[in-house]
Amino acid sequence: MSSPHRPSYSHTALTHKRTARVGIFLIVAGVALYALYGHALRTAILSVENPFGSPYTDDIPAPDVDWNSRAEQVKGSFKHAYHGYEKHAAPADELKPISKSKHNPFNGWGVTIFDSLDTMHLMGLKDEFQRALTVVEDATFAMPTSENLYAPYFETVIRYLGGLLAAYALSGERILLTKADELAELLEPAFNTSSGLPHFGINTSTGNVTSTIDVGLAEVASLQLEYSYLAKVTGKRKWAQRSQKVIKTLYDADVDLTGGMLPTRWNISSGRPIGADISVGGQADSAHEYLLKHHLLTADTDKESLELYLRATTHILTRLLYVSPKRHLLYATNTRRPSRTLNDWPTHDFEHLSCFLPGLLALGAHSLPLDNLQSRLRNLPENHDYGRAREGYTMLGQQNQSLKEMHMTAAEGLAMTCWLSYADQPTGLGPEIMRMVSLVNSKTQAALWIDAMAKWKWSGKRGSPPGTGAKRPTLSRQDQDYIVWRPEYLLRPETIESFYIMWKVTGDARWRQRGWLIYQAIERETRTDAGYAILQSVAVKNSLKDEMPSFFLAETLKYLYLLFREDDVLPLDKWVMNTEGHPFPVFTPDL
């Protein structure tokens, strides 16, 4: 074996040694100074002014707030965004608000126009609405036939079809219904599967579909509202059958491994789940949402979807909700299960997309007789085996709290965490994904919410239920109980949507005020000359990226507008929103 190289002691080497000794001295001195003054330094760095004020008291609105005036400000923001789109991007899909150019991520049919129709009508923007109708009249929904292009079925249904149907429901303009029916006909080849679950994508000119059979839950189970309402207003039974077939496939699936909750990935050929991963965020969120909403939309007649919703929420409340170790933030996470023989494990990721969940739970608690469900479920088979779901029902029954109270407690805690995800950031806007701190030490770690609720019960229910109660925002990363995992802010609506429902259900004006503070942050941090841009990081000022997604106009600004309006434009018992914020009126099916 050769010996290692031994360097000579040249002048250069000795100079490097002296430099090294000086460096070591400076490091030691730095450590000593940090020990003496580090706490003060950290405090100074972390006491950057909170964008919502310090000390934090702004979530309690003044008694003389003119909420309608605030709604008008949101209308002005919508006009700024839409006029910028009209000037620089129409009839393309979306505006690039920094370069003032256009791009076509969703078929090139003008998705911003179709997604904005009902928002314009609700805001009384008659001129903009009439201009949009001329685009709708000329729409052919054609795609190039020489290229390997496909319209994403899910996005096309929730944005285009949903936008047309909601605008028709609000305005009565027949051209909107005609075009909705035409589009649905062009999408028909997507259902060329034995399961009735649609293909991921379709070329509307050729009828060709994508070849993949492994598809996300949200992409195959977020059509029931649109197709059932389309059947109602056209009188065509085949649209109702599309919805009913999806519901039946989901209801008949073997989901014992996931406690009765629908897994994230599905085989559209067999109609069976692939694996046992569970998500309340990406790839799954809207499918869980549609279980409750289709039951409500069809005047409580869809009992299978109701049962699926109860299974899902039972699993969420007992298996997917955690309380963070120090700050006691309530959050919903996803679980992974590598194989049937291994237990599932939580990722402890909390997605912005998951912030729809508190609103959904509150809507269910408000709309369903959760503590007297016999009448809603009487026609379902009594011997249906839910697998692990039975354990969840048992756990909930041991809490000495009604099911409605459990759902509302969870909704309150989750909505608070969604709010803090905004209020904790220097920009006042929430990140795409937070990774929650799950372990500090052996005695301080995240706990399943259902276990924390049991301990709270045994302690005599002192204080607020776990994960709820007043919490102050903090800019101190070490105190937040999470790491910002994906820092971008995409102008998403989920948090505002939940605030809107929480306000309608509870009457607590703090949800309105929190929405107002977020709106101010949107104006301050994302507005451009031509519209509004997403942020690359919620921690960095002016980190704008050249995108303005259509859902910003369809949902984010719509929910802010509805949150601030004093009159109840869309009562929760008469209208149901699709996952893109498009409202459909409640009806009794007759097909």
> Which pLDDT does position 390 carry in this prediction?
60
| Known catalytic residue at 72 | no
Average pLDDT on 513-525 reads: 97
- End-to-end CA distance of the chain, in Å? 86
> Which pLDDT does position 344 carry in this prediction?
83
Residues belonging to the binding site are: 579
Distance of CA 272 to the CA centre of its chain: 25
* pLDDT exceeds cutoff 60 at 524: yes
Average pLDDT on 118-141 reads: 99
Give the pLDDT band of residue 257 (cuts 50, 70, 90).
confident
DSSP 489: B
Residue 506: HSE in the Cβ half-sphere, 13 Å Cα cutoff: 22
> Which pLDDT does position 9 carry in this prediction?
29
DSSP letters, 422-448, are HHTSTTS---SEEEE--EEETTEE-EE
Distance of CA 428 to the CA centre of its chain: 18
Domain ranges of the chain: 49-377+385-585
What is the spatial distance between Cα 496 and Cα 355, in angstroms, rounded to a whole number?
Answer: 9
Catalytic residue among 58, 432, 481, 555: 432
Runs of H (alpha helix) within 351-388: 357-367, 374-377
Q: How many Cβ atoms from other residues are within 10 Å of residue 436's Cβ?
A: 24
| Known catalytic residue at 285 | yes
| Known catalytic residue at 307 | no
> Which pLDDT does position 38 carry in this prediction?
40
Residues belonging to the binding site for Ca(2+) are: 579
> Which pLDDT does position 14 carry in this prediction?
30
DSSP 474: -
Question: Cβ(436)–Cβ(346) under 8 Å?
Answer: no
Average pLDDT on 444-459 reads: 89
State the average pLDDT for the chain. 89
Task: Write the pLDDT tens digit of every residue in 15-69.
Answer: 333 344 434 444 444 444 444 334 333 333 333 455 554 434 567 888 899 999 9
Question: Cβ(497)–Cβ(581) under 8 Å?
Answer: yes
DSSP 278: B
Catalytic residue among 59, 94, 118, 155: 155
> Which pLDDT does position 45 carry in this prediction?
33
Average pLDDT on 112-140 reads: 99
Question: Cβ(418)–Cβ(355) under 8 Å?
Answer: yes
What is the spatial distance between Cα 545 and Cα 489, in angstroms, rounded to a whole number?
Answer: 10
> Which pLDDT does position 29 carry in this prediction?
46
Question: Cβ(492)–Cβ(560) under 8 Å?
Answer: no
Residue with tokens 């910028």, as numbered in its chain: 84
Catalytic residue among 494, 497, 547, 555: 494
> Which pLDDT does position 52 carry in this prediction?
57
Residue with tokens 């047309």, as numbered in its chain: 164
What is the spatial distance between Cα 476 and Cα 489, in angstroms, rounded to a whole number?
Answer: 19
Q: Which residue has the higher pLDDT, 400 or 473?
A: 473
Question: Cβ(235)–Cβ(591) under 8 Å?
Answer: yes
Say which amino acid occupies 360.
Answer: L
Q: Give me the architecture of the 49-377+385-585 domain, per CATH.
A: Alpha/alpha barrel (1.50)
Give the pLDDT band of residue 400 (cuts 50, 70, 90).
low
Catalytic residue among 285, 424, 547, 580: 285
